[in-house]
Structure 1
Amino acid sequence: MSSSDLRHVLHASELDDSVWRSVLDSAVSYKENDTRTNSADGKTIGLLFFNPSLRTRTSMEVAAAHLGADSTTLTPGEGTWNLAWEDGAVMDGDAAEHVREAIGVLSRYHDALGVRVFASGTDYEADKSDELIRRVAEVATVPVINLESAWAHPCQAVSDASLLTDRFDGDPSGKDFVLTWTYHPKALPMAVPNSTVKMAARCGMNVTVARPESHALDDGVMEAAQSLADPHGATVSATDDLDAAVKDADVVYAKSWGGPLVYTDPEKEAEIRTSSRDWRVTADRMARTTDGAFMHCLPVRRNVVVDDAVMDGSHAVHLDQAEYRLHAQKALLDYVWDLG
């Protein structure tokens, strides 16, 4: 199989409409039927986690097992060599192996690779182009699944879309979806919010991104989301008024992110973030919704991002959301291996 024929999953928005719909339907079916098969018997997937993981790692390992496949999980730098990434690198430092050899070898051992590699937080253009995960796909000779990169988290996006499809009886279009920035003691990457706004738009939901002006999402992300919403007649907008945004919402999705300012003036970003502790999902705010669902990709800091009253109340679907990671990952493995 040539590299152009490989079924990589790098950004969910890059999947064509028929694949997107098929993957969502498959994930919902796995949830409804608790299906375990031997459809991937004899296959293996190599999982590389350059950054920590609980749900992504576990759900992918279990998803492979449910399909009859084996998995190998590696943490580069902990039991394996640190990697160099740049072509032409003079490797006289800590990196003992180049990504070309590491991915080249693992491609010969495995039938697919899953890779998590976070944003640099310092080079905006490199992160925006998703340079590292695309380098992996460039040198791999088997399908690559992005397990969260600098700019995207397709596994989360597919999982969340599957949950929303299930929750709204197969069609979440026309529902009001709020993605809200929240205070966090750290400046977090933008992969999840970038993927979430495009995911909800592609589902035909009317999306509002609530955030301080300082933490606006990239213009290109917002424009891409609107283009995904257009075929459904849906809208994508932004506001700095959280209370107004959540009024009558069907879904409130909380997530922290650092925003572009962290690349240009991290001290200013930290100052604004620290002064924005009131950007928190509370029971009062959820009471403004239309009995809306509360979503979060996890891990979440209770009583910082969201109050206990919300997490432990009737609005919360975060555990259902996390469960859907398993079903979505099985659906993605079906796709990259063309299991039928």
Structure 2
Amino acid sequence: MRTTVWLGLALALAGNAGANEVTIKNDSLTDFGGAAIIWGFVSGEMAGSWLTSPCDGNLVAVQIFWRSPSGTSADVIGSAIHIYRSGTFPNPGIEAQTVGGPVLQDNALNEWRYLDENNSIPLVVPVTMNETVVVALEFADPPVAGTDPSVVRDTDGNTPGHNTIYADIGSSFVWFDSATLGVTGDWVIRAVVNCTTVSTDADVSVSMSATPDAYTAGSALQYTIVVANAGPASSPNTTLVDTFPAALQAPAWTCTGSGGATCPADSSGHIIGQAALPAGSHITFTVDGTVAPGTTGTLTNSMTAVVNAPATDPAGTNNTATLDLEAAVSDVIFANGFDGPPLLVRPLPARATGRPRR
């Protein structure tokens, strides 16, 4: 049977949290909140919290609130803090890491970031988003009820499937749902996960070529346009705009995605729409049309890719490709002024005939 006593507890956190760190917990304890001390543990028994990671990253610290009625007891050395992979509640899975011989300070939310007392081996347990891990404190010595410090629980109910006790039932140790043993709150046993920072940089670029590389009025012209994402992040909302030149009659285009890229939905008229570009992917557009008869001068076409949230483009100078085509020249021999005045040709002297003189 567990004995409880009601206390107002002030949180005293050891250690410094990083910018990407998230504390995961089941309990609702806040500064100067109400909590209950739970005694009754014997050597080798454990109190454990089942905690769910909110992100991909590394579990880098564990926290346990430790309290006596007076709040002034001497430090206590526990047997170990065990970090397990999720199993089938209330039984944890395989053990991922162990903090040996943790020193527990009274009236404090104790935090451990190292596996050894010299603080030389960091606590690092890789976790994925929505993965459950179990953090459990193993008692070295039985706490004396009414005087010694022990683990505490909050006061607003026991969250189903989140609190366990590893208890000695006489012949063996067995995992129990703590609620079945009369514990009516969540353990103040927590973990800290350093969430992996994911880059939002997506280097999207556009390139363009034409076949033929000089247009002929009244003839077919084909553009090939490639939109690529060099990463490292995906660009799921990429706006593509290509308003074809007016001289390109009846333009029609097709699109092919590679590496998971998706094309704009509308394939009629100009290219105006959204595309998704995972890192390392690209989209290839093939545009076919006919140059209007009588077209002269430079024929210009441009494609622009706009990278929208959640991605950002670190190199915006390559997001637009512009291609200028000139009219083809039908006779390259006279294209550069080689049709000058006729050459003056000196006739050759007449060749003598007959037998040579001796």
Same fold (TM over 0.5): no
Q: TM-score, normalised by structure 2?
A: 0.22
Q: TM-score, normalised by structure 1?
A: 0.22
> Which structure has greater helix proportion?
1
Higher relative contact order (CA 8 A, sep 6+): 1
> Which structure has greater strand proportion?
2
- Structure with larger Rg: 2
